[in-house]
Amino acid sequence: MARYIGKEMSRVEGIAKVTGRAKYAAEFRVPNLAYGFIVSSSIAKGTIKSIDTREAERAPGVIRVFTHLNAPKFRNDPQDRSFRALQSDRIYFNMQPVALVVAETYEQARYASRLVKVDYNAEKHQTDTEALLASARDPSHGRGTRVRGNPEVALREAPVKVEAEYRIPIEHHNPMEPHAAIAFWEGDRLTIFDKTQGVYEVRRHLASSFGIPEEDVTVISPFVGGAFGSALRPNYYPTLTAMAARELKRPVKIVYTRTQMFAGHGYRPYTIQRVALGADRSGKLTAIIHEAVHNTSSFEEFDDNTTGFARQVYACPNLRASLKIVSTDLHTPTWMRAPGAVSGMFALESAMDELAYALKIDPLQLRLINYAETDPESGKPWSSKALRECYLLGAKKFGWEKRKFEPRSMRDGEWLIGWGMATGVWGAFQAPAAARITLRADGTAHVVSATSDIGPGTYTAMTIIAAEFLGLKPEQIKFELGDTRFPRAPLEGGSMTTASVGSAVHGAAMAIVARLLDLANRNEDSPLKGAAASDVELLDGRLQLKSDPSRYVDAFDLMKRHNLNEITETFEARPSREREDYAMLAHGAQFVEVKVHSELGIVRVTRIVEVTACGRIVNPKTAHSQEIGGVVWGIGMALQEATEVDHRYGRIVNPNLQHYHVPVNADVLEVETIFVEEDDKIVNPLGVKGMGELGMVGIPAAIANAVFHATGKRIRELPITPDKLL
Amino acid sequence: MRPFKYARATSEAEAVQLVSATPTAKFLAGGTNLLDLMKEDVERPTQIVDLTRLSHLAQIRPTLNGISIGALATNAQVANHPLVRQNYPLLSRAILAGASAQIRNMATVGGNLMQRTRCPYFYDTAMPCNKREPGSGCAAFHGLNRMHAIFGYSDKCIATYPGDMANALYALDATVKIRGANGQERTIPIRDFHRLPGDTPEQDNNLQHGELIVAVELAKNDFAKHSYYLKVRDRASYAFALVAVAAALALEGDRIKQARVVLGGVAHKPWRSTEAEDALVGKEATEANFRAAAEAAMKEAKPLAHNAYKVELGKRAIVLALQRAMDETI
């Protein structure tokens, strides 16, 4: 039985974080550091007519002011259309960098940034997705429109149907840590400390931008103070930082302000969806039409895959799911926690609730009636799917059977009570990943992989997995990440890190075992003679036969006998071929109680039970933390979050935490997260699925459905603020 | 922020003298608003005069006729002070409805009165704002104005005063004690402290440059038994009011002898609704009379493109606040 996998463990890096020993990108001490401050454009579209940097250059401490006129050009990379700053006089979006002031101190740089005078030739911009719908187009590399059966006919003939539009505003990630980089050059070799979810991605981006070999770039990112997708793409500040450091021949640091983050790393796009559902009178779905349109920038395509997962949720023979994009004069959107899924499921799961009321069927029953026993999209069997168990357990824990069907039928004094539910879905992705283990004869192990830990607990999970399969105690393991000198790992995104990197750590541990067995069996008298690597395991320093632990070799004695202080194995784990025969998803069910003030329209989310099935749970402590975090994100999306753009100026008006609301402690009341574990032998050797995104996917719909139940008002445009409920 | 000179005042007189001498000088107390605005380049003082060592200005003490609250008393100190809680619970409630615990520990009474609008256009130097840059225009007027005024605005400015504490002070007829440039003290009744924007939205209040708030004084009143502060906002804490109501009633038998209804989040200053008060005085404290008062309060409201909800919300909030003022008898 597992000794550590599945048992609660506190974060191994927790003490370092709370004592400040953990160093984030902007905190590294580098001698002779200069500070850069980005000057942002004040128009959304046009060109720079003139830029006067003289006063800024004369300001105290200023070393140089870079603009498009004197900044070197980055190498053009057709594979990478991401925005690079100071390359021309063209303005593509508001708050685009137009200059970089570098000075001896941060304060001097920031002050001098106010002295840069820019004149523009403004052009007519359009930042309003609603005004551009006529120009909506298929993404050129997108998944296009998917059709199964004959949805239009099925909808027309359906005895019961619902159809509605849903809107989600632009939202920004707002991690606590602002994006930051420190760069320095040693000859033609670049080292950069960066806030990123993928050091190898940043390395490729920088090497390509500067036209230097990837091996000459080192990216270091041991700790990330939250990212949620905002540090998946390299963003424009690492190239800018490295450029300034190279030109000035000294280390340079750039840190975004909170406001700059709003135009510095992308956002969840403005998304309009139309959902039409048809069903027979028993509630069986006969047609699903799910269309989405969202914005992208004028220079780059972004595809949020809004309607992707929604195709696989319900058994329905007729479906059309499409996504179109429009080009706005805003920065490019990017992935934001549960990208596409939470947007698509807000619309689909709101529509399912509307259908439940049209049919007068309990919303949970409607989901069970349409339960997909196999993948409706591919027809493949599920590798595992415990969604039904999630529904039933969640309903039981929540007390769903006491729900009165009619809206406005439950009350607590001035407060209307509403109970709503929804389904959550996410993938069970795995990408190629490598890890290296060095086992030392002193009984410790050093495990490394160039993954990231943006908060989910990767440090801890990998320590647990290494301890499990090396048979050591967690305190004997040192796991390191976030460094391009370590073996390659994918971006920490899409909730695939434990599946990908965990499988690599597992594989490397297995390689260590095989190596030790090989060493042991060089001895004619080995008690393990004839055993295959899969027959043995390491446990507390013994390499032993699984079937008969009395037959063992002391692994560390063995190493010493061979004069080996340490042995090292690197392993790259790849998704198995077997995965192709199955459909793989993680699922969840959310049950929400809201109280809505009958007079004031204030919504309080008083109770949430979330049950998720995402394979095996490596560390319940951090896993619950993930799901609770997802729930809080769902509350924010449902009730508060909205990036407001004044389209006259094409400019975000609330780029700060006083005006852009995220939930505060007082908004988060009772949250219970429960896992239904799945024994999945297909997904990967560890049997783990994605969970970080999953936790929020159904929450906005469940809250909106609960608000409907409380008030009788169906709010189809997020966020649900009090004014919409008067 | 821009470079500035810093001086730490050792006396009120010195503080006043230092600020008076420089037209672009500012007093610094808790700094919770001024420093933010300086970082955003909205406020650009060349001289900062730090008041925080003038500890005598932080005293809260009873007076013959009520209470005197020093201008440097923090929001937390005032809200938690036994005399305030006992005699002016409305003030305590209003303060605790504002900001966050951390900010209330820093923010002062004087500073809170001086708090500038939270209009997002005021905060962004790339957009027009007559309050920040007179003559540049009001971007909010035809812009995103969900949070803006429904009373007393002008075509120059539709910003709201964002604070909570002042709404209670208006209801309690506070007096603001000021030390002037000439060393003289004067008082301003709180209702005359803030201004409506008119043609000079850059002026939030009626202080002359260099004048220092030294205290806020409250007289004894009959409102402690029946008062309530109701704040409606987009999240449970740390958000500015969509609408706030400071309600206070004094009863004589079954009849309302005195009433105070002050609205927050609806105007360039705390909006005392004498219409609502007049509708209440002499009447019984019934829901029907509260509704009539709420209707009277909102009669002259002139909502903008995105804030019409404030009219209905304001009415409901007034009724509720008055009801709770009656329910929550101390």
Examine residue A149 and state whether it is found in any structural domain, yes or no. no
A659 near B CB under 8 A: yes
Inter-chain residue contact B232 with A602, CB threshold 8 Å? yes
What CATH code is carried by the domain that includes residue A389? 3.30.365.10
Residues of B in contact with A60 (CB under 8 A): 3
Residue A94's closest chain B neighbor by CA? B126
Burial class (CB in 10 A: 0-12, 13-18, 19+), A164: middle
Quick: pLDDT tens for B195-211.
999 999 999 999 999 99
Quick: pLDDT tens for A33-78.
999 999 999 999 999 999 999 999 999 999 999 999 999 999 988 8
> Residue A614 sits in which domain range?
271-429+580-725
- Asked if residue A219 and residue A117 are part of one domain, the reply reads yes
Q: Which of A261, A285, A312 is the last residue of a domain?
A: A261
A693 noted as active-site residue: yes
d(CA A690, CA A342) in angstroms, rounded, equals 14
Examine residue A95 and state whether it is found in any structural domain, yes or no. yes
Taking 60 as the threshold, does the pLDDT of residue A542 lie above it? yes
Mean pLDDT confidence for A1-17: 95
Examine residue A14 and state whether it is found in any structural domain, yes or no. no
CA dihedral B283, B289, B294, B298 (to 10 degrees): -80
pLDDT value of residue B181: 82
Quick: pLDDT tens for A673-709.
999 999 999 999 999 999 999 999 999 999 999 999 9
Q: Which of B33, B46, B124 best tests the A interface by mutation, with the highest count of A CBs <10 A?
A: B124
Quick: pLDDT tens for A308-352.
998 999 999 999 999 999 999 999 999 999 999 999 999 999 999
**What residues pair up with B261 in beta bridges, in sequence order?**
B247
Low-confidence ranges of chain B (pLDDT < 50): 330
Q: A661 in helix, strand or coil?
A: coil
Residues 6+ apart with CB under 8 A from A50: A118, A119
Inter-chain residue contact B313 with A667, CB threshold 8 Å? no
Residue B2's closest chain A neighbor by CA? A111
Residues 6+ apart with CB under 8 A from A629: A455, A695
- Asked if residue A590 and residue A558 are part of one domain, the reply reads no
Smallest Cα–Cα separation from A7: which of A449, A447, A428, A463? A463
Mean pLDDT confidence for A544-553: 97
Quick: pLDDT tens for A227-252.
999 999 989 999 999 999 999 999 99
Helices (H) and strands (E) in chain A, counts: 16, 29
Taking CA atoms, A129 is separated from A31, A51, A211, B76, in Å, by 47, 31, 37, 45
Examine residue A277 and state whether it is found in any structural domain, yes or no. yes
Choose among A111, A601, A663: nearest Cβ to B235. Answer: A663
Quick: pLDDT tens for A100-112.
999 999 999 999 9
Q: Which helix (H) or strand (E) holds A608?
A: strand A603-613
pLDDT value of residue A488: 98
Report chain A's mean pLDDT, rounded to a whole number. 97
User: What single-letter DSSP state applies at residue A243?
Assistant: H
Helices (H) and strands (E) in chain B, counts: 12, 12
pLDDT band at A79 (very low <50, low <70, confident <90, very high): confident
Residue B38's closest chain A neighbor by CA? A111
Q: B94: which 2 tokens? A: 């209003």
pLDDT value of residue B1: 83
d(CA B267, CA B279) in angstroms, rounded, equals 21
Which one-letter amino acid corresponds to residue A204? R
Quick: pLDDT tens for B136-151.
999 999 999 999 999 9
Examine residue A376 and state whether it is found in any structural domain, yes or no. yes
pLDDT value of residue B253: 93
Query: Angle of helix A699-711 relative to helix A341-359, nearest 10 degrees?
Result: 30
- Asked if residue A100 and residue A234 are part of one domain, the reply reads yes
A723 near B CB under 8 A: yes
pLDDT value of residue A661: 98
> What are the structural domains of chain B?
5-53 (3.30.43.10), 56-114+161-219 (3.30.465.10), 227-327 (3.30.390.50)
d(CA A295, CA A303) in angstroms, rounded, equals 9
Please give the tally of structural domains in chain A.
Answer: 3
CA dihedral A644, A647, A650, A654 (to 10 degrees): -20
pTM for this predicted structure: 0.98
Taking 90 as the threshold, does the pLDDT of residue A586 lie above it? yes
Quick: pLDDT tens for A179-206.
999 999 999 999 999 999 999 999 999 9
Examine residue A159 and state whether it is found in any structural domain, yes or no. no
Strands (DSSP E) found in A198-249: 217-220
- Asked if residue A86 and residue A219 are part of one domain, the reply reads yes
Q: A246: which 2 tokens? A: 């190279």
**Percentage, residues of chain A above pLDDT 90:** 98
Residues of B in contact with A42 (CB under 8 A): 126
Residues of B in contact with A601 (CB under 8 A): 313
Q: Which of A261, A286, A311 is the last residue of a domain?
A: A261
Residues 6+ apart with CB under 8 A from A641: A169, A171, A172, A660, A661, A662, A718, A719
**Percentage, residues of chain A above pLDDT 70:** 100
Residues of B in contact with A648 (CB under 8 A): 139, 142-143
Q: Which of A236, A261, A286 is the last residue of a domain?
A: A261
pLDDT value of residue B330: 45
pLDDT value of residue A81: 84
H helical segments located in A371-442: 387-398
d(CA A363, CA A589) in angstroms, rounded, equals 12
Neighbours of A481 (CB within 10 A): 24
